[in-house]
Structure 1
Amino acid sequence: MNDFKSLKPISVYSTKQAVDDGYLIQVDQKISQEAGIRYPVYLTRAVWDKYVEVPEGMEGHQDQSGRLWDVLFMFAFFGRKETSSHLLFKLRVHLPNTDNWEHNEKVAERSNRLLREVTLKALVTAQDFDDPSPAIFIMKPFED
């Protein structure tokens, strides 16, 4: 019989390392708590860059904190109805009408091609390999 307790991982990439490397962005807990989220929240760099950062040319109409709030609020809204640790949720995001559409995006309104309905994925899991406390990781649906 194998004793799995004695097995050691070959390699571990921690949440802390991913934050330090810039692959994950940790949301300020004060902001996430205002949205009704009680666990730490991390966004992947891809989500942050595309849906939180204000796109070039839209600086006067939107701000980063408002876009972050939209992501957090919509997660919290859909998350309240979910019992699973895995959630797909939708939000509407203003983006320039360019050729950078992704599989998780579609036109939200025919009359406004700047408004996209975006699907994101959230996982509630251990914060890190050595920290079993819960944390929320928000990413694009095809990210792991």
Structure 2
Amino acid sequence: MRDPNPSETASPFGPVISAYSRADAIADGVLVPVPESIAKEAGFRFPVALTSAAWADCVKWTDADSEAQPTPQDETGRLWDVLYVTAHAMKKAPGDREFEVRLYRVPRDGSTGHAKPARLKSVIGPGDDLSPVITIMCPDES
């Protein structure tokens, strides 16, 4: 159906020139999606993704990391840690759309054998179809 009053609904800024969707960010590797089954098991009702920087800092772990680090870990366990503390932070901040996530993780530096503090932030916002999604990122990301 055609809008009877297009001047009333037109954007004052004009037409959208370009848009970068969440699906585009996932396809480009800017966002790393959490498998739906893991997100649901961790208590999330909405899709969850981490920025590639947050993933690299707090989740990523390879066999080479386990060989180089005195504390062997695995990526799945590190992802669970991030999801667990994020879910806990969400429960402590009901109604907030953005909140800080504090956790401990072993840095991937080849030498550290103990966990060190890390900070992330989580944002609940609209996805490509305007349904809620959760994005976990480094504090300086938006």
Q: TM-score, length-normalised on structure 2?
A: 0.81
- Structure 1 counterpart SS, 2:105: strand
Give the whole-Å Cα distance in 1 for the aligned partners of 2:76 and 2:100: 22
Contact 1:97 1:114 in 2 (8 A): no
Q: Is it true that 1:141 corresponds to 2:128 in the alignment? A: no
The answer to whether the 8 Å contact 1:97/1:113 transfers is no
**1:114 maps to amino acid:** H
Residue number among 1, 4, 17 corresponding to 1:10 in the alignment: 17
Is structure 2 residue 123 aligned with structure 1 residue 123? yes
Work out whether 1:20 is the aligned partner of 2:27.
yes
Shift of 1:96: 4.6
**Normalising by structure 1, what TM-score?**
0.80
- Cα distance in 1 for residues equivalent to 2:70 and 2:98: 33
1:12-49 superposed Cα distances (whole Å, 9 cap, x missing partner): 10000110001001110110111111110010000111
Amino acid at match of 1:23: V
Larger proportion of helix: 2
Kept after mapping to 2: 8 A contact 1:39/1:136: yes
Q: Look up the match of 2:107.
A: 95
Aligned-partner Cα distance in 2 for 1:118–1:41: 19
What is the RMSD of the two structures over their aligned residues, measured on CA atoms? Answer: 2.2
Q: How far apart, in 1, do the equivalents of 2:8 and 2:99 lie?
A: 31
Deviations 1:55-83 (A, max 9, x none): 62239710000000000010001101212
Flag as ranges the 4+ runs of structure 1 deviating above 3 A. none
Q: Note the residue ranges of structure 1 that are not aligned, 5 or more in a row.
A: 99-111
Label 1:39 to 1:59 Cα distance change in 2 as closer, same or farther (>3 A): farther
Unaligned 5+ residue runs, structure 2? 1-6
